[in-house]
Structures are given as C-alpha cells and as structure tokens.
Structure 1
Amino acid sequence: MPSATGIPRRTPTHDVYCGANPLGQQKGGGNMPSNEECGIRDVWNHNLEEEFRTIRQIVQQYQYIAMDTEFPGVVARPIGEFRTSADYQYQLLRCNVDLLRIIQLGLTFLDESGNTPAGYTTWQFNFKFNLAEDMYAQDSIDMLQNSGIQFKKHEEEGIDPLDFAELLMTSGIVLVDDIKWLSFHSGYDFGYLLKLLTDQNLPQEESEFFELLRIYFPTIYDVKYLMKSCKNLKGGLQEVAEQLELQRVGPQHQAGSDSLLTGMVFFKMREMFFEDNIDDAKYCGHLYGLGTSFVVNGSGGYLDSNGDNSSSS
C-alpha cells in the first residue's frame, strides 16, 4: 500500500517471511531461500554507490535503522590493571576492533510502526576481507562460513572501508538526531562503525568512545539493555526472538538477517513491555556490557558489565 510520501510500505516485520519455506520450516533438505528472496540486498564493491542512492531515498521515511555486524572474533586480551570490570570490557573491545576488520554490516529500515519498505527491507554490506592476510579467530570464521559467508568473494569483490565511510557520511543516516538506531549487545558493532567513520583507532578512554557515539549516532536503543526491564526475556538474539514467537528471515549469523531480526524484536518488545513508549532518559544511549552511557535529556547512567561478549552476533 503506497504511503503518503509515495514509497511502498510493507506490513509489520513480524508477519514477513520469505520463499516458499520460511527459515526454520525447511523440509527434507529443501533449498534455503536466497537473501534476495528474503528482501535482503547484498552490496558489494560494484553496486555500493547505487545502493546508497536508494538508501538516501528510503531513510526519508524509514527512520528506524536496525543494525548488526559480523567480525572475525576476539583475538587479543588487554593487559594491565583495570578500574572496573566494565573498563576491562571496553579495553577488550578496543584492542580487538583496532586490530581486526569488519566483515559484514546489515542495515534494516523501518518506520515508527515497525513497517519495512516493500521490496528490499535490508542492505547487507560485504567488506573486503582476506583470510591469507587479515587476522581472525578460527572458530568465528568457521561459524561464518557455515552460515554461508563466501570469503573468496569478500576477497575479490568486497567493499573498501574508505569508500563505504565516504558514502555513509553523506547518506543521511549518521550525524542525524531523527534517526533511531536499533541494535543487540552492540558495543563491538558500534566500535567497528566508529572505526570506519573516523578511519582511526578507538579512543583509549571509554568516555571518549561514548562522546563519538553521541555525535555519529545520537539515538541508540540496545535491545539487550532494554531486556533488563522485560520480565523473563533472556539469552541471545535468536533465543529472545523465539520467546517472542518471531520467525527469522534469512540465515542466522549473517548481518542482514540478524539486523532484520533485531528490528522485529525491538518493535515486539516495545509493544509488549513498554506500551509503545520507551523512556529515552532511561534507555537511550546505553550499550549492554559497557560501563558508561552518553547523556540524553540531561541524564546518564552507569552499567556494571555482566555481558557475554561473543566473537560475532
């Protein structure tokens, strides 16, 4: 059904499946639906500029962006003394993000009611990554290969991070107060995005990290942090989705599918647990597992880390 702005609109995402056999209901070894059939647009070096042109149009109406990344694990541990466990978690994040390269970024676009655009709902950016040259944790690479990530194609056709950052800066989705970012346990996700955008290592101090975050991503809701106020919700993204009776679209442990599921979970949680009204002063800007959040409407907070940071989403 066309919207007032003329961009077709898809019904709320928790009603959307893809292909003849929705994922999780495959029978007898049937073929898995492709990303394209699921409304997930794969972006490589050759179509990067074209897809950003589309995104610049989409974001004018769909101003909630659910985000997920895939990255090559955790390969280093910080040494020294740390003020708190939360400080250790940030230093762990910092040293790994500084050393490693992002593999995938998924962005799903939704409106204020949780509707997604008709056609493509999600853009999955595939970055240049070379298994012969870049550092990684083997268990993470094994998991990503099992999920269908094609590392040979990433090596040959992957997106250059500098090209991506230049287009992202002018896309209308960063540095904008009206854009609301949705994520799940997303310290590493935003760490990699800040590294892309600044082309620099992450700040040594966590407070400076959150200052940068506030500039580039003024409004963030981390679903894992919201779960602290949701009775009986627990676990990772897939487990939470199952508790909410939501069906994944596309393959788990790919950034596009995970970002779409994150968006679905957020809107279902907002409806069920927050009466469609989330208190920004209490929840906005907190990243689960990190010890500082940036100030929103004059208030901030401190979060002791009890996160279960994993090698990828």
Structure 2
Amino acid sequence: MLGFLFFCPFLCCVPMLQISCSENTTVLQLSVPEDHRLCLWCGGSDTSDVVWTHQDRTVLVTRQKNYETNQDRTRFQLKPDASLCLLRLDDADAGTFRCNDRLVTELEVLTGQDFRVSAGRTLLLPCRRSDKPKQRWFQRREGGKREPILTRFKNATVKPERHDPRLSYQHDALQILQLQPGDAGEYLCNGELEATVVVLTQSLSVPTAPPAVTGAVTVEKTKTDKTPETVSVLVLVAVVSSAGLLLIGGVTCIVLSSLKCRRKKKHRPTGGRRRGDAELQLWTSSSTAQGERHVEAINSGGRSLRRRGRRVGCSAPAERDPPLRLTGPTQLEGASGQNRAGSAAAQCDLLVCAY
C-alpha cells in the first residue's frame, strides 16, 4: 500500500493514467484537430453500469449489465473498459464530457491548420499528411531551425529525441501536455507541415514601479483637464452655428416677404383698371349699338310714312326734319323725341283719313 502511494504521483504524469489516480484530479483540457479519432477513459472501476453525457444534457451511450444504447454508432463507440471513442471529431463534439456524472474532459475542436490554443491545455497533433507508418516529428520556432521531437517506428515504439516529459505520443498523435509559450511554432511530420501553433497567454502581471503608476495618473488627469475645454469649444461652435442659421433664416424670410408684397402691389391696381375698362367698354358698346338701332328704326318709320302719304294723297309736312343722329349713349341730336312723336302722329292721322 505504501509503495502504491509512493509511485502514484509518478504514474499520474503518464497521460493514459492521469485521471485514474484520483477522482479529484484536474479535468483534462484537450485541444484536438477535427476529423481525428479520440478515446476518453471513464476512470471508474465498475464497467457494467456506464452513462456518458455531453454538455450535461445529451446522453451519448449507456450500458446496464448486458444492455447498451448508442445515440449514433457511426460517431460513438463504447469499449469494454467503459471508454468512449469519438470516431471522427467535428465542431458539434466540442464541450464537456461526463462519465457517470463525473466530469472527465473539456474538449476543444480545432479547425484549419493555424491553431490558437490557450496555455495550460493539452494539444494533440496527428500526422495527417504522411501515410508512412514511421513518423518523425520536428518543431521549427520562428526564425530558427528544425528541432527533432520524437520518432515513432513501425512496431509502435517511440524514441524521444528531446528531454521533455511533456512530449509523448498518445491517441495516435503527438501529445503536448501543459502547453507553454515555448511550444509555439511550426510542427512537421516526415517533413510535411502539419500545424502552426500560437500559444495564448493571459497577462496577469501588475505594474509595481511607482513611476509607471504616476505616469498613468498624470495621463488621466491630463485627459480629465482637457475634457471641459473640449466640451466648451463644442458648445460654442454649436451656439455660433445656431445663431448663423437663425440669421440666415430671418434674412431669407424678410427678402421673400418683401418680394411677395411688391408683386401684390404691382398686380392688384392693374387688374382693377383692366376690369373697369372692360366693363365700361362693354356697356358703352352695347348702349351705342342699342341707340343706333332705335335711331335707324325711327328714321325708317318716318320714311315709310311719307311714302304711304304720297300714295293716298296726303300732303307731306311742310318742313322736313333732319334725320336723327346718335351723339352719346343716351342723347339724340336733331329733333326732340316729342317733335318726332308729333310728326309721326300727324303722318299717321293723314294715312288714316285717306283710307
């Protein structure tokens, strides 16, 4: 028992036994490229009753004694040791996986060839561009040369070429535990570029030097002092702009009003005169025409009476009145109306006597 307790911390450094030592071990955070095959170990001793869930909701596979259920046999496989194998990773597989309500793995699915992975995670890089059973892995940092990492032979034996316990070959891929900034760079398998890795780190450092803090405070004060000036300038510009707009609007209104008044004064009298002249001309012309018709009727009547008097033997008037002539709308020049009426009556009497 004491020997087991002594060697257990050492065994926990081995990836496949990382979760088996204790149920309180830190959850394995995996970053794996898409289309890769990945198996997750449940870690419990009882393999007869198993329930695998994804994202705390979806039940993927279950086993109760000899009865098994599988949501999609083309994607998931439950092994005899209760391990869950994801046959081909895709974006939908990202998230947390639990075995019998115990959190086992938090999975990140990588796409493309340029990977941005947070520091501290476990990265798997499969050799996808070479079909050779023998794999030799290299790392090339920015501006540096290729550095060998390890070699996997045909018989599945692995020869490390760098003294780093974080580097191994697991899950049919190059495995890097506890990713660090020094792991960034290009990774090649059999001379073919497999991935370019960028390690993301969180900046947790806090400046402690007093000058830096003083400078920060000074900058903030300067910005605070400039803020009211900027606001006052903006307010002044807004006020001047508003006053200019009001002035332009007032001048425009005055000019338009004056033009409108001038047009009204110019057109109103002219229209009145033209209308009065038209009415006067119409009245004068109608009155003149009517008077001319009356005068012509009177003159023609007198001539016809004289002709009839001659026929019946009546004597014509001794003095012949001159014909009437129209001099105005309501005045007749010549014999008055009464004389004309008397002469016409005398001529009519003569005609009656003759008949």
* TM-score band w.r.t. shorter chain: under 0.3
The structure whose Rg is larger is 2
Higher RCO (C-alpha 8 Å, min separation 6): 1
With the length of structure 1 as denominator, give the TM-score of the two structures: 0.25
With the length of structure 2 as denominator, give the TM-score of the two structures: 0.23
Structure showing the higher strand proportion among its residues: 2
